Structure 1
């Protein structure tokens, strides 16, 4: 693959980065549209809600709310559609918005629950007859104005009410703007098939039904030559489609996020595979190689899909001079620990651990890793890198948590409270100049559109996306129980769980769930497969239709005009995915796919498989093997072995739910060194020092004495000489 498109994309990303330093800028711009409208809508709606709240007790308030449902203009069954169905509501509910001859808002609604019907009646009375601008200026906290406590209005029902208001705003905005379709492309997944809406979605859907001959050819090669395949979720749709079909016929094909790929490779080799093909970027194949070696499988072959570097802009950021300056600064800080994203090269991990005690993390365990460090190492100073967005999102999350109740904080990590989170914040640093070029694309313009037209949808965001997208998903999670922030696996599980919930509800009219996919589009194949399998089974079991819509938040700048398609358009233009440069991404927001991941094509996989086990194949495959590091000097560990240390620290944490004693000791300092500390001779001669329970405890105690001491003495603790 030519490096020109990648280089051009990176240049545009870098050029935009300075303008994007303040990740809250776009959020503030969006908020202006939401709150700057005049207060007529707020006044009228609060007046209606206030009449309910004025009743003397909860039971009377509920009666008043239910009575409001009697004034709700009816919505005939023929007008109840997926487009006006309220998502996130435990009951069946529809709210329909139209404009009268004077351009004023009219609301109709229906629900199978009296209380929900009552809330729709409050909205109809409070917003009916207003201009679209007045409706869009209404605050989102109207539920609180009803004066109903949690006992009468459980969180699940309150969330449904909030989403009903979001649905009203979305429909109002579409009417005001004269739109007859939603702005983003999407895939509608049903038990019977897949409907692509827009050319971008059509491109994603093309390979969801893979070519049977291609699947058969791949499986034949893999079985005959005992080759396993581990692939990242961010594959091209064609590759994912073929691999997922192949996995049904051959057990040694596995698609996952980067954390699990290496573990899967070990299992494949232990089950008899002689080689493993890695479909991912270079650090993924390096990790697979290192973990196989650590497991005693150095003879197993590991192959990449290209002789050229399959790079990663994020991993490259961790090899910059700026990153080593960042680590050098950490080296001078007491109780410093470096939490490094696993999406980095082995030599990066090795070099980092030589400077600061280092543990790897993934997007799914980064929160727990940081919180465990703060809980297990008192006074720890955490340096996260290299992903600037993930670091900023961590800081944003912990800032939010500092306002939560102790019970809510403990639900995230049992050793923490609001006070400990507040204490952690000033001791958390993150690198300021590292981004994934793909996740960088979810910018302010895209998030503005998501907030305006998909505010009632389920929001998903990878931990690597910019703060705007992260904040949208966090708000949806916190305020409406309709969001997830995390890894690719977290996002997949979230979508599948919501589909399972809808199936379990068995609403007679069915449901449509919409998910905004705030990560790389390669995720879509796994999501579609998992969702459709459940929908097909549900239909066979007699469950009414449940539909799953996957929305691609792609900006208008991430598509290219063409005169050769009759498909629906965005902004009046016929489009295909990708800007003219062909990268599939735009630095203005939205991304089709990772240009590096595109190097992992189906043709590349078949070429590698064809060479395995052939005469001369070893020589031609040598450039496809993961990077080889210089051999270690006698008595020293190799770079690969040292790079494995932070990964093994993470594996220990994953298994034991705490850091190993060896890692904690490393953070506090090596006590085999001579420890110099200052105390008065008089105090030293009188004080008894019983053996501490661990070397870490001793280091912590000595560090405290060092800070408060005045003179130098020599003592010995449990065989450790301290001067």
Structure 2
């Protein structure tokens, strides 16, 4: 509450079934809010409390326009906590506890709530023999590993344990996988890099190593077959090239392409329209910087439709913010410039990754009902409803984050650090709704646990962190009633109902492509490295090779151009002069040449 104030709210029912509220705080203003809530709502029916509009905050004169945002957010959070407890008291639909599975992390261990959570927790403590065997291979053969967060729990558990003993194991989002590989080879002496992810990731690692002059380092995927991605394939469809043709016909056009695409896709796109690669962690800054540096720029984003829609949603929200709040996101912008940008922002409409349908409308309704006082997180790739929930939590309650997998991980760690610094009392639980792939859970749980163990050692042992998995009712498997979670009267376990993959029933960590990155596959690749016979067998495991051009750069080199534009932006905080010139002159040059 506020900046450092703590508040406690308890809701019960009196003998007549009406709400009885007690509230307290260690700060006078917040204690006043608690008293206002207790006096104003005690004596009402629970259903009447649930019908109270969020507009009451403004009606009482304690909204953001009247008070500092932190104070207004504090009152809103208190109201959400009361509503949550009222819902549980009503036991709507037979639900006596929040409906989603979760992992409760403490300094002493991890408690799994629900079958789905137990499956996720199974490999948090990996098999010691598997870790020993992997580390021995990596050390003996100077192999580095770069892996995406979205591995299945078994692989994640082994890799994270191995990373404690061998420094050249790196798990991250796709933005920095290639940078980590360069460091492993250049500074760590690694001779081979094993990439756990889909093919565009290994292609990117190979290309950036080559650009760094490290062509001798070998790069291996985890399968001889293609390790594809439905989203990357969407950018190779005719519809996408029609979309690029539209951009080609517009003055001052820039194509912002998600990194989850193949090198030849990036090369072909840049041949049509000036193109820069982005990730979920830098896409907002990329678009806003382009708008600041190129007056009248027309932004074409693709291929991820969800991310494009979320960008449009975010900028629409920003168009109502104060200039001060807009400048906090990007200092070169105001409310007026955001409004000016909106009509010139387009995004591809046919690039939906079906994996992310797992965050459906029923999920968002349940999150609103039962987790209104929790921290909300959302990856930029999730559907708009989940994204909007996190944005509302961020703006209205100061309890949300949107961005990349790394942004979400950092946010969870930051909030745990804040709770530890306040030395919260025993049993104080921070709940985080995980609006991203469940493949993130191993990294989040391990990071949270490490912080809580360190806090207990320092004498602070009260904080708990709950990681909640909001899973769609489409992603269910019927089981015995005794093992079920009741959601709308249906006994379910969140997870694949039958088959797995890029569908409404799965997530990236259970995608058949990502599952090709298994522990057995990794050990098999490592076993073959270091011998002529073994490495001959690994030839099909190398990233896709592009034929060198007879005249001019190769496809791989051309595909690196948008990536290098992004790297320039990451380094300098601005688009390069050469790229800006390309954006502002290419259309006119083409027209003059006709």
TM range (shorter): over 0.9
Map 1:85-104 onto structure 2 (within 5 A).
90-104=4-18
- Tell me what 2:579 maps to: 663
* Structure 1 match to 2:428: 511
Tell me, what secondary structure is at the counterpart of 2:351?
A: coil
Is 1:452 aligned with 2:366? Answer: no
Is 2:233 aligned against 1:316?
Answer: yes
Q: Aligned with 2:61: secondary structure?
A: coil
Matched, 1:349 2:349: no
| Mapped pair 1:390 → 2:307 | yes
> Aligned match of 1:303 in 202, 220, 225?
220
Which residue matches 2:473? 556
1:199-218 aligned at under 5 Å gives the runs 199-218=115-134
1:144 is aligned to 58
Is residue 428–residue 463 contact of structure 2 (8 Å, CA) maintained in 1? yes
Distance 2:155 2:357 in 1: 24
**Residues 134 and 210 of structure 1: CA distance in aligned 2, closer, same or farther (over 3 Å):** same
Q: Quick one: which of 321, 330, 341 aligns to 1:404?
A: 321
Equivalence for 2:85: 171
Corresponding position: 1:370 with 2:287: yes
Aligned residues of 1:107 and 1:124 also touching (Cα < 8 A) = yes
Distance 1:88 1:606, change over 3 A: farther
User: What whole-Å deviation, never above 9, does each CA across 1:522-570 have from its counterpart, x for those lacking one?
Assistant: 111111111111111111111141111100001333231234x954533
CA distance in 1, matches of 2:322, 2:309: 22
State the alpha-carbon separation in 1 of the partners of residues 531 and 548 from structure 2. Answer: 28
Among 106, 110, 113, the alignment partner of 1:197 is 113
Partner of residue 327 from structure 1, selected from 232, 240, 244 = 244
Aligned residues of 2:146 and 2:196 also touching (Cα < 8 A)? yes
Choose from 598, 622, 629 the match for 2:539: 622
How many residue pairs were aligned?
Answer: 590
8 Å CA contact 1:442–1:590 kept in 2: the answer is: no
CA contact (8 A) 1:105 1:132 kept: yes
- Please point out which of 172, 181, 191 is paired with 2:97: 181
Q: Residue 8 of structure 2 aligns to a residue in which SS?
A: strand
Of the three residues 140, 149, 154, the one matched with 1:224 is 140
**1:508: Cα distance to partner?**
3.7
* Distance in 1 (alpha carbons) for counterparts of 2:276 and 2:66: 47
Distance (whole Å) between structure 2 residues aligned to residue 298 and residue 212 of structure 1: 35
Matches within 5 A, 1:14-33: none
CA distance, structure 1, for counterparts of residue 19 and residue 502 of structure 2? 38
Q: Which range moved further: 658-667 or 218-227?
A: 658-667
- Taking structure 2 as the reference length, the TM-score comes to 0.94
Whether the 8 Å contact between 2:151 and 2:439 is mirrored in structure 1 is: yes
What is the distance in 2 between the residues matched to 1:140 and 1:306? 52
Aligned: 1:606 with 2:520? no
The one-character-per-residue Cα deviations of 1:476-502 (angstroms, maximum 9, x if unpaired) are 000111000000010011100000000
Give the 3-state SS of the residue equivalent to 1:557 in structure 2. coil
Change (3 A) 1:151 1:583: closer
By how many angstroms is 1:646 displaced?
0.1
Q: TM-score when scaled to structure 1?
A: 0.78
Q: Could you tell me whether the CA contact under 8 Å between 2:99 and 2:485 is conserved in 1?
A: no
* Residue 101 (structure 1) shift: 4.6
Cα distance in 2 for partners of 1:628, 1:132 equals 64
Distance between the aligned counterparts of 2:475 and 2:461, measured in 1?
37
- Could you list the per-position Cα deviations for residues 297-330 of structure 1 after superposition, in whole angstroms to 9, with x for gaps in the alignment? 1121111111121111110110100000000011
The two structures, once aligned, show a CA RMSD in angstroms of: 2.4
Q: Which has the larger radius of gyration?
A: 1
- What does residue range 99-178 of structure 1 map to in structure 2 within 5 Å? 99-147=13-61, 153-176=67-90, 177=92, 178=94
Distance 2:38 2:395 in 1: 26
2:345 counterpart residue number:
428
CA distance in 1, matches of 2:327, 2:189: 44
Separation (CA, whole Å) in 2 of partners of 1:88 and 1:448: 28
Identify if the C-alpha distance between structure 1 residues 674 and 630 changes in structure 2 by more than 3 Å, giving closer, same or farther: closer
Query: Mind listing any 5+ residue stretches in structure 2 that lack a counterpart?
Result: none
Change (3 A) 1:670 1:429: closer
SS of residue matched to 1:416: coil
CA distance, structure 1, for counterparts of residue 451 and residue 563 of structure 2: 35
> Residue 481 in 1 paired to residue 398 in 2?
yes
The answer to whether the 8 A contact 1:338-1:383 is kept is: yes
Deviations 1:616-653 (A, max 9, x none): 212211111111122211x2111110000000000001
Work out whether residues 150 and 509 of structure 2, in 8 Å CA contact, stay in contact via their aligned partners in 1: no
Contact 1:555 1:589 in 2 (8 A): no
Unaligned ranges ≥5, structure 1 = 1-86, 677-721
d(CA) in 1 for partners of 2:587, 2:444 = 50
For residues 238-266 of structure 1, the C-alpha deviation after alignment (integer angstroms, 9 at most, x for no partner) is: 11111111111111100010010001011
Counterpart CA distance in 2 for 1:422 and 1:340 is: 23
Matched, 1:652 2:564: no
Task: Give the secondary structure class of the aligned counterpart of 2:500.
Answer: coil
Task: Call closer, same or farther: CA 1:626–1:117 in 2, change over 3 Å.
Answer: same
Aligned to 1:594: 511
Q: Which has the higher contact order (CA 8 A, sep 6+)?
A: 2
